[in-house]
Amino acid sequence: MKLGISLVLGLLLSFSVMAQKAQNLALTPPMGWNSWNTFGTDINEQLVKDIADAFVKLGLKDAGYEYIVLDDGWMAMERDDNYNLVPHPDKFPNGMKEVVDYVHSKGLKFGIYNCAGATTCAGYPGSRGFEYIDAKLYAEWGVDFLKYDWCDTENLNAKGAYQTMRDALQASGRPILFSICEWGDNEPWKWGEEMGHMWRVTGDIINCWDCTVGHGTWASLGVWPIIKLRKDIRKYSGPGHWNDFDMMEVGNGMTPAEDRVHFAMWAMLASPLIMGNDLRSASDETIKTLTNKEVIAINQDALGIQAYCHTNEGDMEVWAKPLANGEWAIAFINMGQKPLQLDFDWAWHPVKDDLSGREMSVNTIEYTIRDAYAHKDRGTTKVNLKGEIGAHDIMLLRLTPKKE
């Protein structure tokens, strides 16, 4: 009997030691689309299929976007007799597998949402107490990505709750990218690497440059409040484990210039690039921004280092991101309302990242300069960089050591 108990304990122990998140996923920041910012709970089978078609037709798939994620509101209010979640019968009349298979048939991946609490943020059944049942169901459907929220979690320990779901996903046998959505309340960057592949760093984003909108117990944050709040947790982010600055609001009402800044900053910050707009009616300008391969390449750089704020002078902010092979991405942002004349002497502004120890050596190395939005070359670091940056706009550059 004693032997039996210790055998079981031993097995349990070795299982818990072995349990880990799915490996080799998200080695660069995940790219995709999520339904929440535009559609809330108003989602259905046709929408997912239309978005998958748009990924292919608009060149988003070619640009690297991969995951189509259904957020809150996909379920019926009750579990079935076996405690399985049930797709909402009006929204998903053919079940979820039909939708997942369609997304897979386009060469894309499918993501779904649930919550660590007893109910989701929109009041649907959460996973608390049903983690293993839910993970098994997702694996059966062929789900590739789980966003896991933090509503209705009174008395739950955050790290423990995410660990339970991580282990349930592992036990399902399917590699599922685990997206922690805990809003930064319990500093998930300090324990998230072990549990998942990305973690939200703030409460929900809203489509504005610099606003904060209160909702009683919580507030939505615009693009710059989010950046400013979490610019200093860069050391926690890297290949396989990313600071998630939230689904993007590109195409959701800011000016085209502000959208360019938003997109470029998410790229610089090595944040997951998850679109949040209606791709079926997106303007050409919005798609041009979202499919800019030079900007995306900065985000997808193999080093995965989050940018730091280099200088902040008057209306101009300069951000720097070390890239692989000695390259750098440098962003000049005009935070003001009037056009800004740039005259930047590289030799006078040493670029050095204390975190990674990387340094741009303009005195010994000449760098060629490429403008990622204008798609043109801008000389080298031997001479001052000159140009005009419009109100709330950006000049995003990639610097490459010149080969002699």
Residues near ligand GLA (CB under 6 A): 36, 71-72, 120-122, 149, 181, 204
Token output for 174: 């399917």
Q: What's the closest the beta carbon of residue 250 comes to ligand GLA, in angstroms? A: 16
For residue 73, the minimal CB distance to ligand GLA (Å) is: 7
Q: Which is nearer to ligand GLA, 72 or 134 (CB)?
A: 72
* Radius of gyration for the chain, computed over Cα atoms and rounded to the nearest angstrom: 22
CB within 8 Å of 317: residues ≥ 6 apart:
309, 311, 331, 332, 333, 335
CA atoms within 13 A on the CB side of 35: 26
**Cα gap 13→16, rounded to integer Å:** 5
φ, ψ at 216 (rounded to 5°): 85, -100
Q: Please name which of 239, 260, 241, 233 lies closest in space to residue 249, comparing C-alpha atoms.
A: 260
d(CA 273, CA 301): 13
Choose, from 71, 72, 204, 278, the residue flagged as catalytic: 204
State the first-to-last Cα distance of the chain, in angstroms, to the nearest integer.
Answer: 75
User: Residues 149, 167, 244, 259: which is the catalytic one?
Assistant: 149
The partner residues of 329 in beta bridges, in order of sequence, read 321, 398
Q: How far is the CB of 244 from ligand GLA (least distance, A)?
A: 10
Give whichever of 273 and 305 is closer to ligand GLA, judged by the CB atom: 273
Closest separation between CB of residue 328 and ligand GLA, Å?
32
- Tell me, yes or no, if 149 is annotated catalytic: yes
Q: Minimal distance in Å, beta carbon 217 to ligand GLA?
A: 12
Which one, of 64, 70, 71, 69, lies nearest residue 31 by Cα? 64
Look-up of token digits 């805990």? 182
Residue 321 CA to residue 266 CA, distance in Å, equals 12
Q: Which DSSP string corresponds to 92-110?
A: -TTHHHHHHHHHHHTT-EE
- Residue 122 vs 309, nearer CB to ligand GLA: 122
Q: Which is closer to ligand GLA, CB of 185 or CB of 285?
A: 185
Question: In the complex with ligand GLA, which residue's Cβ is closer, 122 or 233?
Answer: 122
343 catalytic? Reply is no
Active site residues: 149, 204
